[in-house]
Structure 1
């Protein structure tokens, strides 16, 4: 500690310019801040290389070349004392804005203007500013340690199956379509408080197309990533028993990559298709295990949050179903409507406004679903079609992050988890379909049906619903709904 203090003092008292040290200082804090704030979005090695290049190596090269240019030309030397202060603060400010808000032109112009003025006025104190920048980076690095620990210690053992289901052999092989409208509440709940919505027109459409409804189906978890990673693993992850409130590490890799479900389908000769309206599942560039995805990773920005791309699935489905008649096919489609209430308090329209917006999005989701189902029925009438939501619409809350606050109202809790499930079976409905309660067991039940083997039903996961709570209760993972569908509030004990 004494040596470090001595070196900092020597740096502050030195008459030398340190262009490389100043350059690294401009990007180190914004780089670490971005990682700390968006770790689940940027945890691939490819992204790490990109950010190191942009936040560290490019500033070093630019600073060093500019310094050499000003130092070696006599008429420019009088400006040398302003070079490092101005460029340090311009670059630092621009990186902070980009890391916080993205490429917002007005914010960037304002930040750069202020940076130039500060650089001129406080040019004599630039080394103190540089030390402060490194201190900021150090404190953020400390906050990143838990995430780094997760990366280095991540294990996929939680996905290990308790039986030999990964070797299951299908006796029947219909094309399988799993269509997931985001946040679509169960049909049995839409007509009740807090949704109060007459969805009979769309329900009649589904009934006319031989869909069976599964009332009171609900999600195991409260978000797309936590729900779908559990579904494709056919196992509970319990948020990795993490009290941090952050998403379970590696969820996109589980959903879009080599998971037990896709592995089983491939072993049974299925061709797999991942169809997305938005790039939300691809932002951290997971290795895709699907045979086809309608969004190429080259289309996804390294700074993407997952909502920049907007693709229509209707035309794509029409083409794919027509062009893949000679293979057994599995399609996983993600429709981003009706979604849920706004994420943050600042974006909320209030409980009434959020409900109204949700229902307008529900109508649009219904239209998309009708178009896709019509395509499938017209071109592939003997298929297995599953409409299943990932979670509820959160109606009754002002914003979705309120779900992290302990809730006591049963109606509100059920609104978070209630999820649509309707299935069109290609032939006789299995007599064990009453076991459909939550997504974690969806594929285990479907595979039992396809294999004509009920032994795989012996190892169904518990149909429980979980959430991470960080306010009005000790921080931790809690069971909110038990296997009987009863609202409880019990802290999950790690095994």
Structure 2
């Protein structure tokens, strides 16, 4: 006699598929800002197909075996428990090892025990009630996400004031050389690198001086992680973490950096109005939406459709949920070598060092991180120098901007925020601000005489300064952004520096965009 669950095959299929769809959807409700809608749709379809395949295998085996209803119920609930365990494996392993301090074998044993617990609960409740439980948990997670999105305070297309937009729309550049923005990941200025890491980086500074770069001293990134820092750089102003969402991320930044839809990106709009092509030579799609917005060319035509699965199954199909450009340094060099110079072009590339990783605690890990950071900087300097030499040789009139996105955060701990570290461990505010915000800024002005020194102390005004040197008009000065720095911490968005100087008291700031 063929086995058939008491509630029918439909509830059994729903149980197995929901065991994969529910944790995947819950994960995406925390990370959907990383991906384009098409990627989410393709990955959802893949989860549905894979879990349906697991159900089909279980159902086929039961039909062949012809076992009874009770064993069929155990088989389907076991399949569902296995699927759920796979999707929760990385989260469970990470929490068990980091928060509970279990060794690897202990964490694996605990995960196996959790699998048995999932199985027991599902077998006790049955397919129908377990499906309803999973849907209830997913609805709760969706409600949390809705509250978080609502708390972003300002719409992504409403971050630049109408007064500033009116000025930007009138900017006409008297000169239009190629502009090369090379963002340097977690790359400190020379003073902070010497103070924080005991590394003077003298050979690289000598290279910059010998190749016409003007180094600005003691410049701070306005925000303390990549996407919000880049958004401020291209906005030429402050967004006050209006779109903060997920793990140190932003709802708006990728659409904004691409100039997509109704997002108003001042830098890209000024460049496009003045006849520039926009070329993004970035190593992954983490920073933008390939094929969208005002970007004319990028090294990626499109994103890998199944990248969202990496966020849910990192230990099985890859940890970084992004589409990577293979052999990135070679592709940059080849693209620049063949790019025509007849039309002005804005190039955006990314090199640099690294910041402290998730699970890091400076109290135990800082010495090893400092040694690794210095090695990384020394190694990456060679790639930065090679790219700068290539640009200078082929396009001597081009303007090259080397800009760090934020500090390397060597005083980070995953167990609490920087404000708590400042308060409880007595680390000086000035040192923590440098650790989070100090960043290199060096500009090569082509073969023309260098203008006066950069008059600001933060990155938000860099492109405004460049446009002014290109004859963009004095009205641009009316839009000058405050040289203030903000840290999104456990205590909220904290105002930590003003005019390039660290503040002793870090006050919380409302996250309301430019308003």
Could you say which TM-score interval applies, normalised by the shorter chain? 0.7 to 0.9
1:238-253 matched pairs, under 5 angstroms: 238-240=240-242, 246-253=248-255
Distance 1:189 1:118 in 2: 50
TM superposition shift of 1:216:
0.8
- Choose from 67, 75, 80 the match for 2:72: 80
Give the match's secondary structure for 1:52: helix
- Out of 85, 88, 110, which is 1:96 matched to? 88
Q: Structure 1 187/116 Cα, relative in aligned 2: closer, same or farther at 3 Å?
A: closer
Q: Does residue 339 of the first structure (1) align with residue 354 of the second (2)?
A: yes
TM superposition score normalised by structure 2 = 0.79
Which of 236, 239, 244 in structure 1 is aligned with 2:238? 236
SS in 2 for 1:477: strand
Q: Is the 8 A contact 1:85 1:119 kept in 2?
A: yes
Residue 322 (structure 1) aligned with residue 333 (structure 2): no
Number of the residue aligned with 1:137: 138
TM-score (normalised: structure 1) = 0.82
Residues of 1 paired with 2:489 and 2:374: CA distance? 27
Q: CA deviation at 1:157?
A: 0.9
Superposed CA deviations along residues 282-303 of structure 1, whole A, max 9, x for unmatched, are: 5x77835321211343447233
In the other structure, the counterpart of 2:455 is 435
Following superposition, the deviation at residue 218 of structure 1 comes to 1.0
Query: Distance in 2 between the 1:93 and 1:466 partners?
Result: 39
Answer 1 or 2: higher relative contact order, Cα 8 Å, separation at least 6.
Answer: 2
Do the aligned residues in 2 keep the contact of 1:22 with 1:130 (CA within 8 Å)? Answer: yes
After superposition, where does 1:349-388 map in structure 2 within 5 Å? Answer: 350-388=365-403
- What is the match of residue 461 of structure 1? 481
**Over residues 92-149 of structure 1, what are the superposed CA-to-partner deviations in whole Å (9 max), with x where a residue is unaligned?**
22233377779xxx99999799858975997454345444433432332332222454
Runs of 5+ consecutive residues of structure 2 not aligned to the other structure:
95-104, 311-319
Equivalenced residue count is 469
Equivalent in 221, 227, 230 of residue 229 of structure 2? 227
Is the deviation greater in 264-273 or in 306-315? 306-315
Structure 1 residue 332, shift from structure 2 partner: 0.8
> Hey, what's the Cα distance between the residues in 2 that align with 1:243 and 1:117?
32
Q: Decide whether the 8 Å contact of 2:191 with 2:200 is kept in 1.
A: no
For structure 1, list consecutive stretches of 5 or more residues without a partner in the other structure. 1-13
Give the 5 Å matches for 1:125-164.
125-127=125-127, 129-149=130-150, 154-160=155-161, 162=164, 163-164=166-167
Q: Given the alignment of the two structures, is residue 274 of structure 1 paired with residue 280 of structure 2, yes or no?
A: yes
1:280 deviates by: 2.7
SS of 2:158 mapped into structure 1: helix
- Distance 1:77-1:148 versus aligned 2 partners, 3 A rule: farther
Please give the secondary structure, in 2, of the residue aligned with 1:357.
helix
Matched, 1:478 2:494: yes
Selected match of 1:445 from 442, 453, 465:
465
- Aligned: 1:265 with 2:271: yes
> 1:22 and 1:118 mapped to 2: Cα distance?
12
**SS of aligned partner of 1:194:** helix
Q: How does 1:161-180 map to 2 (within 5 A)?
A: 162=164, 163-180=166-183
Question: What is the CA distance between 1:29 and its match in structure 2?
Answer: 2.7
TM-superposed CA distance for 1:406, in Å, is 5.8
**TM superposition shift of 1:369:** 0.9
